[in-house]
Chains A and B, each alone.
Chain A
Amino acid sequence: MNLRAAMNLRAVWAIYRMEMARAFRTVLQSIISPVISTSLYFVVFGSAIGSRITEIDGISYGAFIVPGLTMLSLLTQSISNASFAIYFPKFVGSIYELLSAPVSYLEIIIAYVGGAATKSILLGLIILGTAALFVPLRIEHPFWMVAFLVLTAVTFSLFGFIIGIWAKTFEQLQLVPLLIVTPLTFLGGSFYSIHMLPGIWKTVTLFNPVVYLISGFRWSFYGKADVSVGVSLGMTLVFLAVCIAIVAWIFRTGYRLRN
């Protein structure tokens, strides 16, 4: 059986295209605003703190924070893109059309998560491009840089999709990104190496999953990492597997979709 017959690829394309059209329609909010706020971090942290901490692990402070800040945007934007994309039709009721269409769960996921991940990858690349204007950026392992970028974007878009299905209010939609993901990212070594932390905090930090994402991503740039790259990659894959399992359960039971 060929792919076209087995899958409703036209539906995947229709959803994906609509999601991308929405991003370009709201370019100020979805692209320009995160780029500006991340650039402010480079300027403020890079020059204010960078004048005091000149370098970490032999990397200038301004350059050191770039992977972490890119990751911060990638995580929050992947979650907010995907959660909003599925929450909004639920909120206005237009989800009826998706549920009544000859579309499989896999196709829905590919289209929505694909759309959200594409947007945040584009955003990540724009942020990296912008950062290169301010700090000397080098990428030692471009393949792994792209791999971490794509894996993280897909994983956290899936996570956002789950939040979008779970949320019953706009407040709940914001809850996880604001109260969990952003603090974890700030405390996950975006602005410092975890080796700089005092004893007990170094151990506590290792329970923060974002540490592994940032560490792996930073390694792809400068070849220096807080934890080993294999562990970083493994943790990212574990989180991806957990998200896939939850999504599979949601679709099998119709949780908050078909009940």
Chain B
Amino acid sequence: MSSIISISGVTKTYATGFKALKEINLDIERGEIFALLGPNGAGKTTLISIVCGIVNRSSGSVTVDGHDISKDYRAARSLIGLVPQELTIDAFETVWATVNYSRGLFGKAPNKDFVEKVLRDLSLWDKKDAKAITLSGGMKRRLMIAKALSHEPRVLFLDEPTAGVDVELRQDMWAMVRRLREDGVTIILTTHYIEEAEAMADRVGVINRGEIILVEGKAELMRKLGRKQMTLELRAPLTAMPDGLSRYALELSSDGGQLTYTYDNQSDRPGVASLIRDLEAAGIQFRDLDTKNSTLEEIFVNLLRQEP
């Protein structure tokens, strides 16, 4: 069995009648970094909260490493570390006390050396005696991670881990996530910063209006749904598109100085070489060209647009 989390037919309807999740089926592979993408209110946090035991589901089942999250909640939950989106810490506890508390809560024997290592890895050791209320936002975020890692989880949920975090800390977090993955920890990360998923994820799931609309390997997704774009800077502006180039569906900039050619990655007929030959034949010269792959963000926006 390679999947560590198996979500099957999970739905959630809140007391208000709002259907937050409609029949979710999802398997998370052991040891992968899985990014769950979706706009605000798509159901990301509800789904995570159900797996972690914070919210009761309306129907369906979830197993973590084969343990049912209801019948065998102790075994299931002890495998999971959760870093929620909001910075919710008891402000008057010290860093040291609150991280050791988390370890105890998850039933682990005290281990000062391990807690020290977690705090050092997250650059919090110097602050171990400081109260949480005195920490900066970035440090509080790291403290939340330290609490989640304190009981040596095999699955780590990061709910919007880099929301409101500066670039340096974001890079540090990405490095930490990769280190954890090397140690065999499965990481599920929700984000609406697509670049985060692009930089880290092995697989990507897209959730919208309580439904998973796509699950795909990141590279595969970008290959299948990605597009390429070539932009040519012309030596002399064009006033109109020459007839011989109409089959390429080129776009001419308003000042006539740039030609843009968009083609998808899978197509057997990108025709870049023939386009350049035809441009020469039409007497159009260019002084520079630039190509770029579409980002995951563009793919994501396109996917959501296609939704009814």
Contacts and interface: CB of A to CB of B under 8 A. Distances in A.
A92 B104 contact: no
Interface residues of B, number: 36
Interface string A34-65: 00000000000000000000000000000000
B52 A100 contact: yes
A143 B101 CA distance: 35
B106 A101 contact: yes
A13 B110 CA distance: 12
Interface string B61-75: 000000000000111
Interface string A141-153: 0000000000000
Contacts of A99: 52-54
Contacts of A21: 97
A100 B74 contact: no
B147 interface: yes
B303 interface: no
A173 to B, nearest CB: 17
B109 interface: yes
A11 B82 CA distance: 17
Determine the interface band of chain A, counting residues with CB < 8 A from chain B: 20 to 34
Contact of B54 (A11, A92, A258): A258
Interface in A75-134: 88-89, 92-94, 96-104
Contact of B90 (A14, A94, A101, A258): A94
Contacts of A100: 52-54, 77, 80, 82
A14 B104 contact: yes
A198 interface: no
A146 B73 CA distance: 38
Given A18-B97, A258-B54, A93 B86 contact: yes
A71 B84 CA distance: 42
B147 A97 contact: yes
B46 to A, nearest CB: 11
A96 to B, nearest CB: 5
Contacts of A138: none
Given A14-B101, A102-B73, A102-B78, A96 B84 contact: yes
Contact of A14 (B52, B56, B105, B147): B105
Contacts of B277: none
B1 interface: no
Given A93-B88, A96-B88, A259-B15, A8 B107 contact: yes
A11 B107 contact: yes
Interface of B: 14-15, 49, 52-56, 73-78, 80, 82, 84, 86, 88-93, 97, 100-109, 147
15 contacts: A13-B104, A14-B103, A15-B105, A17-B101, A21-B97, A22-B92, A93-B84, A97-B102, A99-B53, A99-B54, A100-B53, A100-B54, A102-B75, A102-B106, A254-B56
